[in-house]
């Protein structure tokens, strides 16, 4: 039981006894005391003045006296307006510091025996990973680490969208224009190689469309448009998909290829394998560099036919209904959604059918009671519907479904990233760039390290900048990706936190090199305000991890790490550690530094960020 829980329950008892008003412990508000007031923790008294029938000050004084009387670690208190500020005894803080440094798992909860699946990344295989995938991967990875830290067994999965029109475009372009080239022959990273053919296809297609727009047929179509307010450009913009499916020669070729693939045509399947293998090899490199990994891969080519048995089950259970054309639907109007198609009239599945089937299959595979889907917010509606349907099926995991929805990463000026327009920010390029800047900034400072160590340090710094930039923002929010700011190394950044860690690490190296005794810190009695602030920040760590887990939101943890680092830097600036006034003060400050280093390293690890030893 934490000290805050003790305080809450003691306040509840006090109110119950003093004012004969039964009060729940969780109705008591306790906050860290702001530094401009005296005290460590503050109880908000306003809620109890009605029961006390006294002024807030008098009520606070009575409760304060009760707490001081009954709680050994409450050393004193003061009341300002409706706020009761408690002072916690130094011995309690010293014990806390000792316990924390003896606990290798500070901030981690014991295993709870429960299982959660986290799905993230889930790319298409027709092109390399870009900035949006980076945000996705960092969120998914960090959430899985955080859930692990609070006790869950986490299964990290991705579902690879390896089939469909998109990959066929790359396949067709390579087959038609590739002249047998390979990533090896061209010296191009293999996923980029495949992506280049996708872009090539889109270029050819665009040219075909432009030429078609000059035909009499197209002109007649434009002249006969019903929405007369549309300009020619707008009209043909809207018409593009229709054209691709009805007029385009390239479109016909791709559809033909998809049909062959579905029929299992050996040449087509072999080509598909080849293209996908190139892409996977490239993805693996990128994932590895990004520091993310998966426990199990699902492939859409294996799951896209799933879910039909659920359709039948749904009809039998009365969850779904069938129309005369034999298409199958669900009426979700009572839940605030619309009627939703779950099976086409030709009997083929749609996206949500697959997802229903995949959900059940994965439960059969792992039995996870919670499933986190890390998918961009453009699919909010889809997941609301999916979860609602699974709830109506009374799937055992239905209550544990969560859509970790995140806002699109936009380019400055509100532009969305589009492969066809060449406005994507490529994940590999991005990592190159942050490392280049990290190298620029670090070169002199780490010059005496070995080349390998230098490279390692630079990678850690660059990735920290990128990862922290993306994870410190609440996932729900759209974020504007400004290339210059994202790789900033000063201020509220990953490298700032790394730098604070490096300071603690430097102290610990001296402790072992000079065999400094850190054990007599208990003799330090007059804890300074700056030291107390640091202790309070350290104390908050488990709660920060828990909040990040409860809300599936690593940004809470990112804020926490930044605040702790900031606090440590203030401490570092204000007091001497190695040359402290007394051996006890030195021991105490070293213990504090050690604890800070531990928490920073562990907290950042949960964000997927590694610490360098020097920088």
Partner RNA sequence: GGUCUCGUAGCUCAGUGGAUAGAGCAUCCGCCUUCUAAGCGGACGGUCGCAGGUUCGAUCCCUGCCGAGAUCACCA
482-521 residues near RNA, rule: CB under 7 A: 482, 485, 488-493, 495-496, 499, 502-503, 506-507, 510
Helices (H), 296-398: 300-303, 308-317, 351-366, 380-392
404 close to 374: Cβ distance less than 8 angstroms: yes
Cβ of residue 456: shortest distance to RNA, in angstroms?
Answer: 12
For residue 196, give both structure tokens. 């280049």
- 321 DSSP β-pair partners: 329
487 close to 465: Cβ distance less than 8 angstroms: yes
608 in contact with RNA (CB under 7 A)? no
Subset of residues 539 to 568 that bind RNA, contact rule: CB under 7 A? 555-556, 559, 562, 566
255 in contact with RNA (CB under 7 A)? no
**Based on CB atoms, which residue is closest to RNA, 368 or 489?**
489
Subset of residues 108 to 147 that bind RNA, contact rule: CB under 7 A? 124
Subset of residues 456 to 485 that bind RNA, contact rule: CB under 7 A? 461, 472-474, 476-480, 482, 485
Subset of residues 85 to 104 that bind RNA, contact rule: CB under 7 A? 85
Cβ of residue 376: shortest distance to RNA, in angstroms?
Answer: 8
Distance CA 34, CA 529 (A): 11
Backbone angles phi, psi at 219, to 5 degrees: -65, -40
Look up residue 155 and give its DSSP letter: E
Look up residue 39 and give its DSSP letter: S
CA angle, corner 386, sides to 382 and 390, nearest 5? Answer: 175
Cβ of residue 102: shortest distance to RNA, in angstroms?
Answer: 23
Cβ of residue 538: shortest distance to RNA, in angstroms?
Answer: 16
Distance CA 289, CA 595 (A): 29
What lies within 8 Å, CB to CB, of 504 at 6+ separation is 568, 593, 594, 596, 597, 600
435 in contact with RNA (CB under 7 A)? no
Backbone angles phi, psi at 333, to 5 degrees: -65, -30
Distance CA 598, CA 526 (A): 24
Residues contacting RNA: total by CB under 7 A: 89
**Based on CB atoms, which residue is closest to RNA, 390 or 489?**
489
DSSP β-ladder status, 296-299 and 153-160:
parallel
Q: What is the C-alpha R_g of the chain?
A: 30
Subset of residues 387 to 426 that bind RNA, contact rule: CB under 7 A? 407-408, 414, 416
**Based on CB atoms, which residue is closest to RNA, 94 or 590?**
590
126 close to 194: Cβ distance less than 8 angstroms: yes
Neighbours of 139 (CB within 10 A): 26
161 in contact with RNA (CB under 7 A)? yes
- Considering only the stretches 17-25, 33-41, 134-142, 533-541, report the one whose residues sit in contact with RNA under the rule CB under 7 A: 33-41
**Based on CB atoms, which residue is closest to RNA, 26 or 345?**
345
Distance CA 97, CA 537 (A): 12
Cβ of residue 223: shortest distance to RNA, in angstroms?
Answer: 25
| Member of 66, 73, 83, 588 binding RNA (CB under 7 A) | 83
Cβ of residue 122: shortest distance to RNA, in angstroms?
Answer: 10
Neighbours of 422 (CB within 10 A): 10
41 close to 30: Cβ distance less than 8 angstroms: yes
| Member of 572, 587, 606, 609 binding RNA (CB under 7 A) | 572
Cβ of residue 100: shortest distance to RNA, in angstroms?
Answer: 21
159 close to 412: Cβ distance less than 8 angstroms: no
Subset of residues 177 to 236 that bind RNA, contact rule: CB under 7 A? none
570 in contact with RNA (CB under 7 A)? yes
| Closest to 99 measured CA to CA, from 521, 477, 467, 405 | 521
Cβ of residue 82: shortest distance to RNA, in angstroms?
Answer: 6
332 in contact with RNA (CB under 7 A)? no
Cβ of residue 461: shortest distance to RNA, in angstroms?
Answer: 5
Subset of residues 38 to 77 that bind RNA, contact rule: CB under 7 A? 42, 44, 46-47
Cβ of residue 578: shortest distance to RNA, in angstroms?
Answer: 4
Subset of residues 266 to 305 that bind RNA, contact rule: CB under 7 A? 300, 304
- Considering only the stretches 62-70, 308-316, 343-351, 394-402, report the one whose residues sit in contact with RNA under the rule CB under 7 A: 343-351
579 in contact with RNA (CB under 7 A)? yes
- Calculate the dihedral angle through the C-alpha atoms of 443, 448, 451, 452, rounding to the nearest 10 degrees: -110
Cβ of residue 180: shortest distance to RNA, in angstroms?
Answer: 29
| Member of 204, 255, 289, 614 binding RNA (CB under 7 A) | 614
| Member of 332, 350, 411, 449 binding RNA (CB under 7 A) | 350
């Amino acid at each position: 039981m934490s000290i805050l829980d003790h305080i809450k329950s003691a306040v509840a008892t006090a109110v119950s006894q003093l004012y004969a008003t039964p009060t729940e412990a969780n109705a008591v508000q306790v906050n860290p005391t702001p530094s401009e007031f005296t005290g460590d923790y503050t109880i908000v008294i306003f809620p109890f003045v009605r029961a006390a029938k006294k002024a807030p000050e008098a009520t606070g004084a009575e409760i304060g006296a009760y707490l001081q009387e009954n709680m050994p670690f409450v050393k004193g208190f003061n009341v300002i307006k409706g706020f009761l500020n408690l002072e916690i005894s130094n011995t309690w803080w010293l014990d806390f510091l000792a316990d924390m440094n003896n606990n290798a798992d500070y901030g981690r909860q014991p295993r709870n025996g429960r299982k959660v699946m986290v799905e993230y990344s889930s790319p298409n295989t027709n092109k390399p990973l870009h900035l949006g995938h980076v945000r996705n991967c960092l969120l998914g990875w960090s959430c899985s680490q955080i859930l692990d830290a609070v006790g869950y067994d986490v299964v990290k999965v991705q579902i690879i969208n390896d089939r469909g029109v998109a990959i066929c475009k790359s396949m067709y372009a390579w087959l038609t224009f590739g002249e047998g080239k390979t990533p090896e022959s061209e010296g191009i990273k293999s996923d980029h190689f495949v992506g280049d053919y996708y872009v090539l296809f889109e270029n050819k297609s665009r040219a075909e469309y432009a030429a078609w727009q000059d035909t009499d047929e197209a002109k007649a179509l434009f002249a006969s448009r019903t929405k007369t307010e549309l300009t020619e450009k707008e009209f043909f913009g809207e018409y593009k998909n229709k054209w691709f499916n009805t007029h385009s020669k390239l479109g016909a070729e791709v559809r033909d290829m998809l049909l062959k693939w579905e029929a299992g045509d050996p040449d087509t399947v072999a080509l598909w394998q080849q293209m996908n293998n190139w892409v996977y090899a490239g993805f693996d490199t990128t994932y590895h560099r990004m520091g993310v990994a998966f426990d199990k891969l699902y492939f859409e080519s294996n799951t896209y036919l799933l879910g039909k048995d659920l359709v039948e089950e749904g009809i039998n259970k009365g969850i779904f209904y069938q129309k005369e054309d034999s298409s199958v639907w669900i009426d979700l109007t009572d839940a605030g959604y619309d009627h939703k198609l779950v099976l086409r009239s030709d009997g083929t599945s749609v996206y949500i059918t697959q997802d229903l089937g995949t959900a059940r299959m994965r439960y059969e595979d792992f039995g996870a009671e919670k499933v986190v889907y890390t998918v961009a917010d453009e699919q909010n509606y889809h997941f609301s519907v999916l979860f609602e349907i699974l709830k109506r099926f009374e799937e055992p995991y239905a209550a544990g479904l969560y859509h970790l929805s995140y806002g699109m990463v936009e380019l400055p000026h509100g532009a969305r990233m589009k492969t066809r327009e060449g406005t994507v920010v490529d994940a590999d390029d991005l990592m190159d760039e942050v490392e280049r800047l990290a190298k620029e900034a670090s070169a002199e400072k780490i010059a005496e390290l070995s080349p390998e160590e230098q490279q390692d340090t630079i990678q850690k710094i660059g990735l920290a900048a990128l990862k922290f930039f993306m994870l410190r923002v609440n996932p729900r929010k759209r974020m504007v990706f400004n290339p210059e700011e994202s790789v900033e190394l000063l201020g509220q950044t990953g490298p700032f936190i790394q730098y604070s860690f490096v300071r603690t690490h430097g102290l610990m190296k001296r402790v072992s090199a000079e065999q400094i005794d850190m054990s007599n810190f208990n003799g330090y009695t007059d804890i300074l305000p700056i030291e107390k602030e640091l202790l309070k920040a350290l104390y908050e760590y488990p709660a920060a991890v828990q909040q990040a887990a409860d809300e599936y939101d690593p940004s809470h943890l990112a804020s926490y790490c930044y605040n702790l680092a900031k606090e440590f830097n203030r401490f570092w600036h204000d007091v001497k550690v190695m040359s402290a006034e007394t051996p006890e003060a030195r021991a105490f400050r070293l213990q504090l530094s050690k604890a800070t280093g531990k928490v920073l390293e562990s907290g950042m690890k949960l964000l997927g960020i590694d610490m360098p030893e020097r920088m």
